[in-house]
A and B are shown apart, each in its own frame.
Chain A
Amino acid sequence: MQRRLNKILFLLAMAAGVAFADPIPTEALTQGGLVMRDRQLRDIGLVMRGGRGGFIDIGYTYTPSSEQLQLKSKYGAHDGFAFRHHYGIFGSWVLDSISHLGFLTWFDRAGWDSQDFFFFPHYGDFAHISSAFTWGFSYTNTKYDVTAALGLQHQNLELASKRVFPNESDSLLFYWGHVRYKNVCIQGSFYRNTFQTLRLSLDLESRELYGGAGSGYKTYLPNLSATIYRRKNNDDDDNFVRLNLEQNLYKQILYADVAYDFPKGGFHSAILKYYPEGLSRLVGLEASCLRRNEIGGSRKLLWGGAVDIVILRLAYNSAFDYDNMFGAKGTFIAEIHLDLGSIGGKFFGRGAAKPTLMETSQKRVDLHKFMKTYSEQQKLNTTVDAQGNKVIEAKGIRYEKTGSSGTTSNEGGY
């Protein structure tokens, strides 16, 4: 009964999430390219913290209803699907014992179309589809603990309906660079001779994964980053700085993540994240608060949360989705994804401080053999005693009466 009630409540919540969702504005879609490029570089920054091993991140947002994330244009609300497909892959080769050469590609395709798709869009009359592709090479020297990476970024506007979207420019020739020395790194992306973003990160938290401490005060040092964004507003400079602070609150399983904008904008978002121990951020729970900064001047707080279970992320009003899914809010967003990194046989989730408890091993379990032994054990009810000897217990003891009747019984029902 309880379970059924829970199910009904869950379905109601889902229905409410779909029914009261707010449409996404066209302005958010035209900003999509900038958002994608910046997020890719942030991700790359996290992966370059190690600069060796490998990393894969692949994901697909799933919004089942065409009324879930409508498009808000000047004519009204259009039924359709907002989508975000992405992958990020980094692999490295060991050149000698201390040098690692890596190659990385990050790809995002996001936008809105009247139908959802995997590879071939419908290209509806009001679609906006754009993609960002970042690639490059990295070099890591473990003796001096340095990483240098550089590459290109291509932002491609695949389709933007002339009927509702303003003209926008894209470019295939952004370039970026990333330099890290121990836990300090500088990252920049450029277009011709002007910068697009410049980021300084101080990754002060001690991380066991990269040879740091596993506990103690050093793990409570903050991770700071400051990013200068170059923005234009009607040909006037509208640059701003975003400060990010990630702080370990308790044993590297509870974190706070705060973003703040200068000179105007102020508080952007705060996220409280819980990562169960031993799972290295592959499983997570987060509660977030974001201040919406709308053109209309509305600066309401948006409260939300998300659950991440290795391959499925379910979020409602989460700050990440607001920032990366065109201001999507008021609806449940499911993302089927996998992000997993590995360094020297240890696995970890993006941005994690400790590896997972699982390690690669060469042992293979022969399932047939295992099942056979298991079933035999079941049959014989074999147990192992304290000395390690197998003990077979028989069930159903027969008591035999030595009387004249000669009947047998295992009931013991005297």
Chain B
Amino acid sequence: MKYLRIFLCLVALSLTACMSHVWTDTTTRLQIENKTDVTILGLDIVSEDGTSVQSWIRDAIEPGEKSKVVEEDWVGTFKVRVRFDKWNGETEKRFSLCAILITDPDKKPKKVATNFADLPESEVIEELGYDCEKNGHSDETATYVKLTLDFEGGSQYLVVSEDENGKAVFKFR
């Protein structure tokens, strides 16, 4: 009877808050593996309107390398930006895109380049851009993928690879 009471108290306690940290992760320990043949320059969380950026993985990850594990409080669904050094060596195309962007401001980046990343249905690609806002010069450009990722907390291992069509693939493992 006494043990039953203690057990019931424990059940009640575990149901009513303050015990949730036992099974709820409040941080994500993220590591990226780069299986593409270009260098990944980092991973950031960006705001919906793109004006605020919070860096998460700051290392440059060479092809075939893994990043450090970085623990942050991002648990939930966020817009992520993965920056690449270049993609498919298409530097010329990149320059021409920049030119289009500057001469035609109505044309949005996501319209001009759609075949960059291939994502599973659950990870919807939001936007792909070539950042040409700084004068449109070749040395100022950046290549990145913006996608929405669901971080469940705990240790998460993100593999970035390239499929046979030359598209970037993001997968948690």
Within 8 A of B (CB), among A51-79: 60, 62, 64, 66, 70-71, 74-79
* Residues of B within 8 A of A (CB-CB), count: 25
A80 on the interface (CB 8 Å rule)? yes
Query: Is B17's CB under 8 angstroms from A117's CB?
Result: yes
**Cα–Cα distance between A83 and B16 once the two chains are bound (Å):** 12
**Cα–Cα distance between A77 and B78 once the two chains are bound (Å):** 6
- The 10 nearest A-B residue pairs measured at CB: A125-B73, A76-B78, A74-B47, A114-B26, A116-B17, A78-B76, A79-B76, A79-B75, A77-B77, A77-B76
B48, B72, B73, B78: residue with the most chain A Cβ atoms closer than 10 Å: B73
Query: Is A78's CB under 8 angstroms from B75's CB?
Result: yes
A75, A122, A125: residue with the most chain B Cβ atoms closer than 10 Å: A75
**Cα–Cα distance between A80 and B21 once the two chains are bound (Å):** 11
A80, A114, A116, A117: residue with the most chain B Cβ atoms closer than 10 Å: A114
Closest to B49 in A: A74
Query: Is A62's CB under 8 angstroms from B16's CB?
Result: yes
Given contacts A75-B46, A75-B54, contact A80 B26 (CB under 8 A): yes
A235, chain B: closest CB distance, angstroms: 23
Query: Is A76's CB under 8 angstroms from B148's CB?
Result: yes
**Cα–Cα distance between A79 and B21 once the two chains are bound (Å):** 13
Given contacts A66-B20, A74-B49, A115-B20, contact A125 B72 (CB under 8 A): yes
> Mostly helix, strand, loop or mixed at chain A's interface?
loop
Measured between beta carbons, the chain B residues less than 8 angstroms from A62 are: 16-17
Query: Is A74's CB under 8 angstroms from B48's CB?
Result: yes
Measured between beta carbons, the chain A residues less than 8 angstroms from B49 are: 74
A42 on the interface (CB 8 Å rule)? no
Measured between beta carbons, the chain B residues less than 8 angstroms from A343 are: none
Measured between beta carbons, the chain A residues less than 8 angstroms from B16 are: 60, 62, 118, 336
Query: Is A163's CB under 8 angstroms from B26's CB?
Result: no
A126 on the interface (CB 8 Å rule)? yes
User: 1/0 per residue B1-39: CB within 8 Å of A?
Assistant: 000000000000001111011001010000000000000
**Cα–Cα distance between A64 and B12 once the two chains are bound (Å):** 12
B63 on the interface (CB 8 Å rule)? no
A124 on the interface (CB 8 Å rule)? yes
B132 on the interface (CB 8 Å rule)? no
* A75 interface neighbour in B20, B24, B26, B45, Cβ under 8 Å: B45
* A76 interface neighbour in B20, B73, B79, Cβ under 8 Å: B79
B16, B24, B46, B52: residue with the most chain A Cβ atoms closer than 10 Å: B24
6 pairs of residues in contact across A and B, judged by CB atoms under 8 Å: A66-B20, A76-B45, A77-B76, A78-B76, A81-B20, A118-B17
Query: Is B76's CB under 8 angstroms from A70's CB?
Result: yes
B136 on the interface (CB 8 Å rule)? no
Within 8 A of B (CB), among A103-117: 114-117
